[in-house]
């Protein structure tokens, strides 16, 4: 069973939902009306946080699950928590200024790459 990986998946989805709510709040706070996608820097940063999280989820989630299946549920979940922490650091930094998004981006990117590379290696090793 992959209970830990399932829990991390649900936490990642909850974080993404939180970023969606944050965009809605930023629209209200800054007066950016639907369907506009720009107009105030605070709104634009909130929107980019949400979109960047969405852009990474198709990389992160399959890699997380394949790593869990082929290597270890606990290790996959641990690296998945690091990915979520990276996304939170990214959220905090980017909310303040675009120039502060780098550390969080790096943390989550390294976690995603570790999951992907681990899963790829495990799959290839099982094939030979």
Per-residue model confidence as pLDDT tens digits over 14-57: 999 999 999 999 999 999 999 999 999 999 999 999 999 999 99
pLDDT at 68: 98
Which residues touch 78 (CB under 8 Å, ≥6 apart)?
none
- pLDDT score of 13: 98
pLDDT tens readout for residues 96-124: 999 999 999 999 999 999 999 999 999 99
Rounded Cα gap, residues 55 and 114, in angstroms = 17
The predicted model scores a pTM of 0.97
Segment 46-87, tens digit of pLDDT = 999 999 999 999 999 999 999 999 999 999 999 999 999 999
Which whole-number Å values give the CA distances from 22 to 11, 18, 64, 93, 99, in the listed order?
Answer: 16, 6, 25, 14, 20
Which residue segments constitute the domains of the chain, with CATH numbers given? 3-127 (1.20.120.550)
């Amino acid at each position: 069973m992959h209970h830990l990986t399932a829990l991390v998946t649900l936490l990642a989805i909850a974080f993404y939902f939180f970023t969606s709510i944050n965009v809605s709040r930023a629209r209200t706070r800054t007066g950016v009306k639907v369907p506009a996608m720009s107009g105030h820097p605070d709104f634009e940063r909130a929107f980019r946080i949400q979109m960047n999280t969405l852009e990474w989820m198709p990389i992160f989630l399959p890699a997380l699950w394949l790593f869990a299946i082929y290597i270890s549920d606990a290790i996959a979940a641990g690296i998945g928590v690091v990915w979520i922490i990276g996304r939170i650091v990214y959220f905090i930094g980017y909310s303040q200024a675009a120039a502060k998004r780098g550390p969080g981006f790096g943390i989550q990117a390294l976690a995603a790459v570790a999951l992907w590379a681990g899963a790829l290696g495990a799959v290839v090793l099982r094939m030979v």
